[in-house]
Structure 1
């Protein structure tokens, strides 16, 4: 069983679940921190002092240690993707973001 997840980790899992494909740390950071210019500056591969890749990698590797994401190595870079365990954690904490219906449908009306 994994340890409790933080709100930031849930946000990260939601990003990985939404794209449903392999992402480099830079690509991941650009999606997780959409409002940050530094997060959008990275390329597909980490090169030099790439802040987005470093920050994205830190978050992704934390999820990998918890077995909520997995990585694959490619020539010169690596990518990450959500695992079934990550999807289960996300669904348990945020069922409305994984497509499950909740509420009566009338709770948002005035």
Structure 2
């Protein structure tokens, strides 16, 4: 079974495995620690194809979450790092990578 979709770019794959290795060294236990690490260390330029802004919704509330991981890679990252995720009713409505926003180019 393939871990990535058929039309994945080489940049996305490279960024994903680089992020996995970098996070393994940090010993994170929760997925939110990865996001915090990306934001605090301004790593959007390094992971611009798989990190970006998530547009989230819980019930009638919606908001933009900066520094999130693409939903396509989020589950894979949690699996590779054995990360815990707080169960919530939050749903991703949209994801815009930093590359799509022409940030860090």
How does the TM-score come out when normalised to structure 2? Answer: 0.38
- Decide which structure has greater strand share: 2
Structure with higher helix content:
1
Structure index of larger Rg: 1
TM-score normalised by L of structure 1:
0.37
